Amino acid sequence: MNLQKYITGIIAAAFVAVCATSCQDRLEEQYQNPEKTTNASIDKFFTKMLDNRRVRADYWNIRTLLVMHPAVYTNIVSYPNSPKRYQEQLSYLNDYWKDYFTPNGDGVAGIVPHMREIEKQYATLSAEDKVKADVFLNAAHIVYYDQTSQVVDLFGDIPYSEAGMLNLTGETKAPKFDSAEEIYNALLAGLKESAAYFATASLDPLVASSFGKQDMLLQGNLDKWERYANSVRLRLLMRISFQNEQKAKTDILEMLNAPGDYPLIDETTNNILLSPLTTYTDYMRNAVTELETHLAPEYLMENVLRPANDPRIRVLFDKNVDTKTKVPNADYYSMPANIPSTDQETNIAAGKYAVLDSTTFMFNTKFPGIVMTAAEVNFIRAEAFERWGSSAQAQEAYEKAVKQAVDFVFYLNTVGATFRGVPAEDALTPTEVSDLLASATVAYAGTSDEKLAKIWTQKWVHFGFMQSIQGWSEVRRTKYPQLTFVPDTGTPGSVNPPSRLVYPDAEKVYNATNYEAVQAKDTRDTKIFWDVH
């Protein structure tokens, strides 16, 4: 069966009729539970949702999505000034869209169909068995809400309420596009509900054992699942905070002022990271070098890291070696953004620019999938307190976030060094951290607007290219850092980065009737509903 043609409710009904039965059989064959039944089981579908190459440091995800689209649009990676540098690559966007809406057997989660299969199986259970399955259902919902929010942040309106009906009911109805704002409201409500479940969940020992075995993300830790749900909800509330400030302010402050009721991922021990599979032996070198996105970008280096003498420089980048003299460069030189591409290419060939650190990034087979970190949560806390509360509390959260962000990159370097058997970079010292926090460009001082600018800029640094979907969303939301782009005048229609990704061609063809309802919005310049600042 050709899985690329599998329809989960986003393809036309005529085509669904051809492949629906065989695709369903494939799903059930993959996820049988031999201890119970020949039917596909909820726990196995849940594990498959977690095993997601769109979360992992996977070549295809980095190469075709992250460093080609959102990372470029946030200037967090380098790129030559060649034609089409800001133009969306529709075939790759179709792959990303398909990986969310359809099931695959090659390490892609297929978030929608697997969620619908869980819901379908759950509906057939007795009341007693539903209680046992609730932990899988709620954890799956949290993952589903998190992943769905990212698709919305990239595209805007998407099929949501009617998506995946083939898996849920066997219905072949082509799904409507729900508005991005309506979807956000549903996600916020769902995250609150799932967090409330985990706050009081008490599992039967056999269920707890099963959940722990199937939960490759958090190993069955109920406290972390509650924190994950609350923290994603916090992220999404802050995302809408300029569009619906009253709701965001009320709900965020309720959470922050009652930490016992709303525990968050605010300590590094609670970072949500998806470990690589034990069989994984690849690394990201090819993914970042094929498009020359491995070079030190100018704004990050010259405007943010170097002025603060930021210790992260040594674990983010290698100085590189002059290809003529075979001598390492004297410093970490960034690639100028405003010189001709021919000059950039000449200098790249000569080894003049610093490159991504080989231990932290290039050859690190233990690089985790980054779901959510304490640093991000504390940057959100800092913004909330600065805008709606105490600046002293904001400073405390901000400085904690910066330290956690720095620690995290050094952690990644240590992970890579352990695997490769090479020395890690010199360990971070307390003096380096205190000096960074006291530097003029980082210190929490100035007007409230200046403080917010520092929060947003440091958050952008922390996201980097591996979380560039979040980074691009925040740059669009806050307009910080204040980036400038060299116009691509040779590519009409894509002179500058877009405000959103356009829909892939397959959706326009196979869901044509429903696409007509959003066609007017399907432009590069249409803003996501929360982009109003």
Q: What angle do CA 214, 217, 220 make, to 5 degrees?
A: 55
Would the pTM of this model clear 0.85, i.e. be above it?
A: yes
In a domain, 288, yes or no: no
In a domain, 36, yes or no: no
E strands, 373-493, in order: none
Contact 144, 39 (CB under 8 A): no
pLDDT one-digit tens code per residue, 425-480: 999 999 999 999 999 999 999 999 999 999 999 999 999 999 999 999 999 999 99
Contact 104, 156 (CB under 8 A): no
Length of the chain: 533
Query: Which one, of 130, 126, 120, 131, lies nearest residue 45 by Cα?
Result: 120
User: How confident is the model at residue 35, as a pLDDT?
Assistant: 37
CA 139, CA 234: separation in Å to the nearest integer? 17
For residues 30, 33, 39 and 43, what is the CA-based torsion angle, rounded to 10 degrees? -80
In a domain, 304, yes or no: no
* Identity of the residue numbered 488: D
The boundaries of the domain holding residue 83 are 42-281+363-521
Give the side-chain half-sphere CA count within 13 A for 147: 27
User: How confident is the model at residue 2, as a pLDDT?
Assistant: 36
Give the side-chain half-sphere CA count within 13 A for 66: 28
User: How confident is the model at residue 420, as a pLDDT?
Assistant: 74
In three-state secondary structure terms, 41 is: coil
pLDDT one-digit tens code per residue, 469-515: 999 999 999 999 999 999 999 999 999 999 999 999 999 999 999 99
In a domain, 6, yes or no: no
Contact 29, 103 (CB under 8 A): no
In a domain, 442, yes or no: yes
pLDDT one-digit tens code per residue, 55-106: 999 999 999 999 999 999 999 999 999 999 999 999 999 999 999 998 765 6
> CA gyration radius for the chain?
23
User: How confident is the model at residue 422, as a pLDDT?
Assistant: 81
Residue 367: its H or E element:
none
User: How confident is the model at residue 386, as a pLDDT?
Assistant: 98
- CA distances in angstroms from 212 to 135, 136, 205, listed in the order given: 11, 10, 10
- CA distances in angstroms from 374 to 66, 228, 248, 300, 371, listed in the order given: 22, 10, 20, 22, 11
pLDDT one-digit tens code per residue, 257-272: 999 999 999 999 999 9
Residue 369: its H or E element:
strand 369-372
CA 57, CA 284: separation in Å to the nearest integer? 7
- Phi, psi dihedrals of residue 289, rounded to the nearest 5°: -90, -25
- CA distances in angstroms from 196 to 184, 227, 271, 294, 381, listed in the order given: 18, 10, 20, 42, 21
Contact 239, 477 (CB under 8 A): yes
In three-state secondary structure terms, 178 is: strand
| Contacts of residue 58, Cβ cutoff 8 Å, sequence gap at least 6 | 107, 282
State the CB neighbour count (10 A cutoff) for residue 341.
16
In a domain, 274, yes or no: yes
Look up residue 153 and give its two tokens: 């942040």
User: How confident is the model at residue 28, as a pLDDT?
Assistant: 43
Contact 241, 455 (CB under 8 A): no
CA 367, CA 413: separation in Å to the nearest integer? 9
Q: What are the mean pLDDT values of the chain's consecutive 10-residue runs (533 residues total)? A: 36 33 40 40 94 94 97 97 96 95 75 95 95 98 98 98 86 91 98 98 96 97 98 98 98 98 98 93 94 97 98 98 95 96 96 97 96 98 98 98 98 89 90 98 98 98 98 98 96 97 95 97 98 96
Domain count across the chain = 1
HEC readout, 248-305 = HHHHHHHHHCCCCCCCCCCCHHHCEEECCCCCCCCCCHHHHHCCCCCECEHHHHHHHH
CATH number at residue 496: 1.25.40.390
State the CB neighbour count (10 A cutoff) for residue 122.
16
In a domain, 124, yes or no: yes
Query: Which one, of 50, 75, 53, lies nearest residue 64 by Cα?
Result: 53
In a domain, 308, yes or no: no
